[in-house]
Amino acid sequence: MRTITVAAVALMLVLAGCSQAPGTSTSTQTSGPNVTQTTQGPSTEVSGPDTEKAVHPPDPKSDVLGWENGYWYNETLSIDQSDGLNKSEIAAIVNRSMARDERIRDLEFTSTVPVKVISREQFRQDQNNRSTPANRRLFDNVKYESLFMIGESTDSIGVQNQNSGSSIGGFYSPSKKSIVLVSNNNENLHVSESTLAHELTHALQDQHFNLSSFDQTTRERHNAVDGLLEGEANNVQYLYDERCQNEWKGTCFSDTKQGGSGGGLANYGPYLIKYQPYSDGPVFVRHVRNQSGWEGVNDVYSNPPASTEQIIHPDKYQKDEPSTISVQDSTSDGWTRLQPEGRPNYGEVGETGLFAMFMYPYFESQGKTQIIPSRNFFNRNADGQMQKVDPLNYQSKPTNGWDGDKIVVYTNDNAGNNETGYVFKTKWDSKKDASEFVDAYEKLLNYHHAKQVDGKQNTWTVPDSTGFGDAFSVRQNGNTVVIVNAPTVSDLSNVHSNAAS
């Protein structure tokens, strides 16, 4: 079997498919393997023009599926976007794409969706100009530090903004009810009809199911819901692309310039977390469609997935609800719980976040360290190529059996340098599952050159040279594991009293 190198996988992640943007918007990215949907599901025929390619056929007497604002789904548009697009040309492409989404998804748009096209250069500038409250930025820094992805001296928001600026191809904003498409051609703005189809699906979801009603206040909750949202949008996008290669061949628009205007992903860790709904979500939605068609997918919106575990393992949907995790503050000597603005005072990363934590060293070490074997991560065809459906496998021995997690951040500015620490608590389906997690976590500590503290069986220190220089207490009690982090060994019990040996 042909070996896929880290560099080759990185290239595929940067140049091909979809992923998730930070914040509340849903997005299509130019990175990640193309995600496809092979199950056609029930089809709904609509009355329309007799030919599969028609130029300005007559309008129906009333609005029907497959027709929007004067354009049929199979109407031919006489538009050349090589020299850019004006507003009327963009409107024509959008209206026809809305009609095409309707025909595939069997849902009617209730209103026209505003679409704006900007250059990647402009998008990167907009990303860099976004402001984040100081406490929220600090919380995010510590969250990614707790996953051993972004070191203490690096701004995690800046890292994620660079990831987004290099990879996002478009996004839908539920608050503005509008779409922004990012063109890789900075001079003459082009439209990728495939990306447009994806983002229009999010608009369609919002018009029927109110995307703002879902709780996506933590990364875990965000990814769990996105398993549905992005899973469905990628299904529609694939079916759309398939028709662009067949009955709509020669009529679809693409952003012909490949890649952005320079720069790649700053860090694969956060990207792996945010990509998971795009890899596993389409399989989850296909699972539902195989049982009950698009109507079954509609029903999931009344009871969305409660965890990324339910997306990674579709058979657990509605059968294995996550436990509620609580962390009781027990600090001393000036340590207090961080209260970030505009979000809960805790983090949740789910089975996805824990998996990415153990998978990240493979990318960081260029394949030299494999806490999770890479052969288990990449789903490949018989010819060694990564699969188009479900290209990445987020299941692993150390993370299967996840039942809940919570990250709580503490600060101490008595010394004037705003020290941080955290408690990372996880719960598992069994004691065996918890032990497998602890074994993998100790391997992660060893990867970062941790040394066990003399006389303290559960305590380690990691050198500053790694970017994660701190003290760690790791304690398992049955099916629960509590990790406490502090700047020094003596600070551990001040961050959380149970960390004392």
Each residue of 93-151: pLDDT tens digit? Answer: 999 999 999 999 999 999 999 999 999 999 999 988 888 999 999 999 999 999 999 99
Q: State the average pLDDT over residues 16-29.
A: 41
| Sequence-distant (≥ 6) Cβ neighbours of residue 368 within 8 angstroms | none
Lowest mean pLDDT among 77-91, 210-224, 381-395: 381-395
- Would the pLDDT of 14 be above 90? no
Inside any domain, residue 450:
yes
CA separation for the pair 230, 89 (Å, rounded): 27
Query: Tell me, what's the pLDDT at 235?
Result: 93
List residues bridging with 473 in a β-sheet.
459, 484
Inside any domain, residue 15:
no
List residues bridging with 476 in a β-sheet.
481
- Would the pLDDT of 330 be above 90? yes
Domain count, the chain: 1
Query: Tell me, what's the pLDDT at 19?
Result: 36
CA separation for the pair 16, 386 (Å, rounded): 12
Among residues 473, 291, 478, 388, which one has the least CA distance to residue 38?
A: 388
3-class SS of residue 88: helix
Inside any domain, residue 225:
no
CA separation for the pair 345, 435 (Å, rounded): 28
CA separation for the pair 101, 106 (Å, rounded): 8
Inside any domain, residue 439:
yes
Domain of 473?
Answer: 336-499
What sign does the dihedral 435-436-437-438 (CA atoms) show?
positive
Query: Tell me, what's the pLDDT at 31?
Result: 36
DSSP string, 379-444: -B-TTSPBPSSS-B----TTTTTEEEEEEEEEEE-TTSS-EEEEEEEEEESSHHHHHHHHHHHHHH
479: its two tokens: 């099916």
- Would the pLDDT of 52 be above 50? no
- Would the pLDDT of 348 be above 70? yes
CA separation for the pair 282, 492 (Å, rounded): 43
DSSP string, 328-385: --B--TT-EE---TTS-SSB--HHHHHHHHHHHHHHHTTTS--SS-HHHHB-B-TTSP
Query: Tell me, what's the pLDDT at 414?
Result: 74
- The proportion of the chain whose per-residue pLDDT surpasses 90, expressed as a percent, equals 73
Query: Tell me, what's the pLDDT at 230?
Result: 97
pLDDT in tens, 451-493: 999 988 899 999 999 999 999 999 999 999 999 999 999 999 9
Q: Which residue has the higher pLDDT, 30 or 282?
A: 282
Q: State the average pLDDT over residues 213-233.
A: 97
Asked whether the beta carbons of 308 and 276 are under 8 A apart, the reply is yes
Q: Which residue has the higher pLDDT, 47 or 330?
A: 330
> For residue 255, how many other CB atoms are within 10 A of its CB?
24
Asked whether the beta carbons of 293 and 300 are under 8 A apart, the reply is no
Among residues 494, 487, 132, which one has the least CA distance to residue 334?
A: 494
Mean pLDDT of the chain: 87
CA separation for the pair 419, 179 (Å, rounded): 41
Lowest mean pLDDT among 47-56, 241-250, 286-295: 47-56
CA separation for the pair 47, 339 (Å, rounded): 56
C-alpha 49 chain-centroid distance: 39
Lowest mean pLDDT among 48-57, 225-234, 328-337, 491-500: 48-57
Inside any domain, residue 446:
yes
Inside any domain, residue 263:
no
Q: Which residue has the higher pLDDT, 31 or 49?
A: 49
Inside any domain, residue 317:
no
3-class SS of residue 56: coil
Query: Tell me, what's the pLDDT at 265?
Result: 85
pLDDT in tens, 136-190: 999 999 999 999 999 988 999 999 988 888 889 999 999 999 999 999 887 888 9
Write the Ramachandran bin of 23: left for phi over 0, alpha for psi from -120 to 50, otherwise beta.
left
Query: Tell me, what's the pLDDT at 166?
Result: 83
Q: State the average pLDDT over residues 232-243.
A: 95
pLDDT in tens, 262-317: 457 889 999 999 999 999 999 999 999 999 999 999 999 999 999 999 999 999 99
Inside any domain, residue 448:
yes
